Structure 1
């Protein structure tokens, strides 16, 4: 299902400090290891250390490690850190050894790996002692008012934060008649009285459209107290797409519809596409040559067919395919292929059923118009039709179109002859954008290979 969530736009200051500290541990453990084996005339190459750091940052980013520091138990954070260290260290070793002449004793590598683990554990242990001491010194009393769903969700997440201990008191309702259980302490008037008495330290107000004016008035009245007031805007009214919180000159803003491919993620996705397309084109080059000959021999016309499609942000791109039909439909004259379509050439039906007609699109990927994984591009006329019939249809263009995608491996590829089928395809496309990660891309590619390129709805 599409997760309604908000992502951080920038890494918090503490998370940046933690990231730099983790990198420092890698470098320090590297220096210690080289010092220990200096007298044996064996040293680890500094370039390899740099490769380990790069792998560490990439894998940590893939797992959103430094963005989830504030909602995890300390033990879970340490285990996640060890997993990242293990994958990055030995992954860098395999990669570095495959591209360079790298000769070093496994004993030295294991010692470096273990020294880093020990340092990580010592830092984690000292940090845990500090936090436990700090938490025992102060407990924050908090209460809630407003949306029940947000209240429950926030309450659960506050309890997970290891840095601060929260004592969650009973909540308040807009009026006394809304109190229907023992956890409700009273109405907003009672909240003001308790706030003035200093019963709690923080008040979380979950806004809602129907009570917005009431809560605005409440915030003004709470200025007569010393409580910290935290306001939760009612953004979950919308179906959020990769929503982020950030600021413009210290003005807080929330993006409702956004793309996951910003900053480092853009580079990560592009590297994936360039490396992947080069590898695949190298492997399938003989197949491309054979198909080109068969297309030319079995029907009149060009081997390749290009069609206008919507790319990222709705920009028109030319998508390449092996010609599988006797006609060259584009723009306002496009009809989806159907079973036993008379327009198909002798080899066209086979090419479309096996998706071999789409192989030239790896050139689109290499040139930057498409990605290996993403929502499948539709003909322009189909975009214009469905954007008026399906809410949120155009949001699928927040990322580059792909050769394969989340919708395709879930059974929605080929002909979409009903509005219901197209709605389900769009649902999966938006799920992909909302939950994008390098891990998800790799999973989709592997599932595409495992399930094959054929399908009952591919004509």
Structure 2
């Protein structure tokens, strides 16, 4: 559950994010204009303009991945200097890569390209330092700490207290707690705690506490009404932060539905913006991999064809995001054999169906490389829960709790479960439970940096594994 602090002044923050996006586009374009004006000759002006267009387009997708439009009071050096420079460097590199591929034999003039890079980097840093200065001035003029009283008990109340205490420069400060738990329950924090309503109300009035947060389960309607009645004649902001931990599969996030607030109980844990950014990264990454590894892919395809009769690629129907079925691609690692409809026999150690080339491909995970075609087609992601055979989905979704929720997002070539050892044959239900637990952890804790961690971990320790056969 997100704190009210995250929705406080939501509209101004949203407007600030939009203005920053427009300012970034202006900085990139203006810096390119001046860099070109300083160039003595422009040998390929049309191609230079295409490179600028590619960079503007790439910035729309790359900049949000580095949190450049997430308004925050902390980590000034990272947010104002490091993140913009790093995001711009990656943006420019991607734009140059696309330009070289599509506009061959185009190569930008080194002088103007370097000037453009420096001018834009300096402009991005300056714009964020200016935004930070204006924000600090607004905070000095109007912002002050708001005293908060929390009504609740248990883990949800402690979670709220930790959130406020750990948020850098939070505008909220917890002054007191009314503990609704049992008399023998341990105190929920170090701030003053009350169990009698009269003493609690007297404290709130005496110290002019401005906010009252009701951190209670939905079943505590009578308690909620009692505290609303208790402060009916006081100018205290009363906010309800329901405890939905017993109902929500993932963290009960507050979302906006066309102006109507709602709490996610069962739904995709990733926002539409996160899914959009993840999809853009997936397709760019897949395109780069397919181009870079194209000689290797051709060599593997030839080796598969020469090792046994049959096609180089093997396809199988799998479920994707929201249960949509697609054909997954792999290099064929087994001899062509008869299959029983509706029955999938997993590969086992020493399986006679596996060819010598196929054994090497499976052991090194090179048989999975064609799945980057699935990523490019939008059917899979680089990182996500691994897709299983449809027959296994039917079996395990009634045995393993939460199994079906793996398909809230696109399945991945690699995933959190795979880099933690849960790969290969699932001959016991316990193995599948462990895999699903890791997949659900990934969904609950997704971030761009977690994806990068998984990609790096896959390269260094996930390609070859004892369970890959």
Q: Residues 271-327 of structure 1: CA distance to partner in whole angstroms, max 9, x if unpaired?
A: 333333333334444444444444444445444432222211122222233333343
Higher relative contact order (CA 8 A, sep 6+): 1
Q: Is the 8 A contact 2:218 2:242 kept in 1?
A: no
Identify unmatched segments of 5+ residues in structure 1.
Answer: none
SS in 1 for 2:112: coil
In the TM superposition, residue 250 of structure 1 has moved relative to its aligned partner by: 4.2
8 A contact 2:51–2:96 mirrored in 1: no
Residue from 322, 331, 339 that aligns with 1:322:
331
Q: Which residue of 1 aligns with 2:87?
A: 88
Measure the CA separation in 2 of the matches of 1:147 and 1:43: 71
Out of 231, 236, 250, the position equivalent to 1:241 is 250
Give secondary structure in 2 for the equivalent of 1:332: coil
Deviation of 1:336 (Å): 1.7
The answer to which of 262-271 and 333-342 deviates more is: 262-271
Distance of 1:244 and 1:339 partners within structure 2: 44
Alignment of 1:44-443 (within 5 A): 57-67=60-70, 69=72, 72-73=73-74, 76-77=75-76, 79-97=78-96, 99=99, 101-102=108-109, 103-104=111-112, 106=114, 110=118, 113-114=121-122, 116-135=124-143, 139-159=145-165, 165-174=171-180, 177=183, 183-192=192-201, 199-208=208-217, 211-238=220-247, 240-241=249-250, 243-248=252-257, 250-259=259-268, 263-326=272-335, 327-329=337-339, 332-443=342-453
TM-score normalised per structure 2: 0.79
**Cα distance between partner residues in 2 of 1:62 and 1:11:** 23
90 and 43 in structure 1: CA distance in 2 versus 1, 3 angstrom threshold: farther
Evaluate the alpha carbon distance shift between residue 91 and residue 180 of structure 1 in structure 2; reply closer, same or farther with a 3 A threshold. Answer: closer
Structure 1 residues 96-127: Cα deviation after superposition (integer angstroms, max 9, x where no partner): 45536244174675455445534543442343
SS in 2 for 1:430: helix
**CA shift for structure 1 position 143:** 1.0
Q: Which residue of 2 aligns with 1:13?
A: 11
Q: TM-score, normalising length from structure 1? A: 0.81
Mind listing any 5+ residue stretches in structure 2 that lack a counterpart? 43-47, 100-106
DSSP-derived class of the 1:252 partner: strand
Give the secondary structure class of the aligned counterpart of 1:400: coil
Task: Provide the aligned length of Structure 1 versus Structure 2.
Answer: 450
Q: Which moved more, 1:204-213 or 1:331-340?
A: 204-213
Q: CA deviation at 1:254?
A: 0.9
Change (3 A) 1:215 1:108: closer
Residues 1:281 and 1:52: Cα distance change in structure 2 (over 3 Å): closer
Q: Is 1:307–1:330's contact at 8 Å kept on the other side of the alignment?
A: no
- The alignment yields a C-alpha RMSD, in angstroms, of 4.0
* Distance apart, 1:392 and its partner CA: 0.6
